[in-house]
Amino acid sequence: TEADRLSLLSTPIIQGCLRGEVSLPSYVAFLREAYHHVRHTVPMMQTFRARLTTGREWLAPALDEYIEEEQGHDEWILDDIRACGDTTDVRNSRPGVATEVMVAYAYDTIARRNPLGFFGMVHVLEGTSVSLALLAADQIQQPLGLPDSAFSYLRSHGTLDQEHVRHFQLLMDQITDQQDQADIVHAARVFFRLYGDVFRSLPLPQVHNAAEAAGVAA
C-alpha cells in the first residue's frame, strides 16, 4: 500500500502543515472531522467483535483491549476544540461528506464484506498518526500560539499509536488466510483514498508560515 500512503501524505494541507503553513480555522476544521470519525471507533470495534465467526475467536482479546483503550478519545477532541476558543456545538453537528463516506464504508466493510477489513482502517489512521501527529502538533502550535491543552488528541495519539502499531504488526502476522489478507489490503487502499479525501476537504490556510506569522507579530 506504499503508493496509496504516499498519495495521502501528498495532500496539500498535510504538505503545507509540514512547511509550517497553518491557520486556526484549518486546525479546528481538522479536529471537527476527527471527532466525527473517532466517535465511531469504539462502536465499530464492538460491531466487529460481535461478528467474529468460528475460527476467529482468538481476535476477541485484542479487540477488547483496543476497545478499552479507545474509550473517551472523542471527548479529548472536544476538549481540544474548546481550548482553541471554538464554542461550536460540534457534538450535534454534521460531519463533512468525506468523513461521512469514510465512516459509512467502514461500517459497510464490517457488516457486508469482511469484518477483518476494519484492520485496513486501523493501519491507515494509526500509521498516519505515528508518522505525522507529533510533528504536526509542533508545527501548528508554535506559529498559532495555542496552549498544550489544544493538542491532547494529536500528542496522545502520536505516542499511544506507536505502541498500537507494534501490536498491530504482531496481530497481522497471525492472520494467514489469503482472502483475509487480501481484504485487509484492499480496505487499507480504500481508506488511504477516503482519509485523503477528508484532508482534501479541509480549508487550506490563508496565511502563514511560521516566519510570516512572526513578522506580522513584530
- pLDDT digits 0-9 by tens, 88-101: 999 999 999 999 99
Answer whether residue 196 shows pLDDT above 70: yes
By three-state DSSP, how is residue 209 classified?
Answer: coil
Overall average pLDDT of the 150-161 stretch: 77
Distant-in-sequence, close-in-space partners of 109: CB < 8 Å, separation ≥ 6: 115, 117, 118, 120, 121, 187
Q: Domain limits of the chain? A: 2-203
- What's the pLDDT at 54? 85
Q: Which fold has domain 2-203?
A: Heme Oxygenase; Chain A (1.20.910)
Cα–Cα distance measured from residue 17 to residue 210, given in angstroms and rounded to the nearest whole number:
10
Is residue 200 classed exposed, middle or buried when 0-12, 13-18 and 19+ CB atoms within 10 A define those classes? middle
Distant-in-sequence, close-in-space partners of 182: CB < 8 Å, separation ≥ 6: none
Overall average pLDDT of the 23-49 stretch: 96
Distant-in-sequence, close-in-space partners of 164: CB < 8 Å, separation ≥ 6: 66, 69, 122, 126
Element (H, E) at 50: helix 41-50
Phi, psi of 175 (to 5 degrees): -90, 105
Answer whether residue 130 shows pLDDT above 80: no
pLDDT band, residue 127 (cuts 50/70/90) = confident
Residues 109, 118: contact at Cβ < 8 Å?
yes
Q: What share of the chain is helix, strand, coil (3-state, %, to 5)?
A: 80, 0, 20
Give the predicted TM-score (pTM) of the model: 0.89
Answer whether residue 104 shows pLDDT above 90: yes
Distant-in-sequence, close-in-space partners of 131: CB < 8 Å, separation ≥ 6: 9
Residue-wise pLDDT tens digits, 65-90? 989 988 889 999 999 999 999 999 99
